[in-house]
Amino acid sequence: MNIFKNRPMKYNNILVEKNDKIAEIIINRPKKLNALNKETISELHSTFTELESDDHIRVIILTGNGDKAFVAGADISEFADFDVSQGAELAKHGQEILFDFIENLSIPVIAAVNGFALGGGLELAMACHFRVASENAKMGLPEVSLGVIPGYGGTQRLPQLVGKGKAMEMIMTAGMITADDALKNGLVNHVVDQDELLPFCEKLATKIARNSSTAISSAIKAVNANFKEGVNGFDVEVEQFGECFGTDDFEEGTTAFLEKRKPDF
């Protein structure tokens, strides 16, 4: 059962529901299998920005509306007539305002992959901090079948998650893999029945929300540093570890432990 209460719709392609410390973003273009058009990308950027500045929200779950697709890719109809510079700008802008933006968000984002996650859809799921899939989910990067390559970070994040060889195979064949295959290859952390997908993610989110949000934000920075060109992740870890010692959460967490009670972050 979904624990979220419906909220009025503010965007054309996005639904946002909040329950206590957890927010759910639902991409809502089911007739187009939730394909990412320009407006949806922009609305997602606004939604993530808004939720990040909401002090009450500790975890975000990102999913697609309907039982068929998470996101079936970037909206092909919008870029079919683009030239070289428009293509480069499409990728650059999208990476900046959505894909890199999510990866570097200070609050955790869980992708609840409820069906097809193809092209930009899989890239979106990979930009999230981790992924849970329903058993019917299918994942792939079909771009080379369209004469392009993944442009929203897919050539970088897929090898990070599944290794270079498997990523090369997936990109070159343009094929789809099943949820179980994705689980075996480390692309998703869990596979559950479709009915269980949101409740399962909500349970994980509730567990995360009990912990220190400032420490989690530092952990995101430190883990991400491992994958940034020219950045020494160990140095970032030292810096972020030190920062934690100046937070209220550190005081509360350690005091609560010594007083043999649960922390109240």
Which residues are near ligand COA by CB under 6 A?
32-33, 35, 72-77, 116, 118-120, 142-143, 146
CB of 79 to ligand COA, least distance (A): 8
CB of 139 to ligand COA, least distance (A): 11
Catalytic-labelled residue, pool 143, 169, 239, 252: 143
108 vs 154 by CB, closer to ligand COA: 154
Yes or no: say if 241 and 218 are a contact pair by the CB < 8 Å rule. Answer: yes
Q: Identify which of residues 144 and 231 has a Cβ nearer to ligand COA in the complex.
A: 144
Would you call 123 a catalytic residue per the annotation? yes
Give the gyration radius of the chain's Cα atoms: 19
d(CA 115, CA 135): 8
46/4 Cα distance (integer angstroms): 21
CB of 85 to ligand COA, least distance (A): 18
Provide, rounded to whole angstroms, the least separation between the CB of residue 218 and ligand COA.
35
Residue 156 burial by Cβ neighbours in a 10 Å radius (0-12, 13-18, 19+) = middle
Q: Which of 89, 123, 135, 252 is catalytic?
A: 123
* Residue 143 is among the residues annotated as catalytic for this protein: yes
To which residue do tokens 């949000």 refer? 213
Closest of 110, 130, 6, 126 to residue 58, by C-alpha: 110
Residue from 240, 191, 225, 233 nearest 103 by CA: 225
Cα-based distances in Å from 155 to 162, 172, 217 = 11, 11, 26
Round to whole Å and give the CA distance between 182 and 228.
24
Q: Which residue number, 94 or 253, has a Cβ lying nearer to ligand COA?
A: 94
Nearer to ligand COA by Cβ, of 108 and 119: the residue is: 119
Nearest distance in Å: CB 72, ligand COA: 4
Q: Where are the alpha helices (DSSP H) in 80-212?
A: 84-94, 100-103, 120-127, 154-162, 164-173, 179-184, 197-209
Which C-beta is closer to ligand COA: that of 154 or that of 253? 154
Task: Tell me the catalytic residues.
Answer: 123, 143
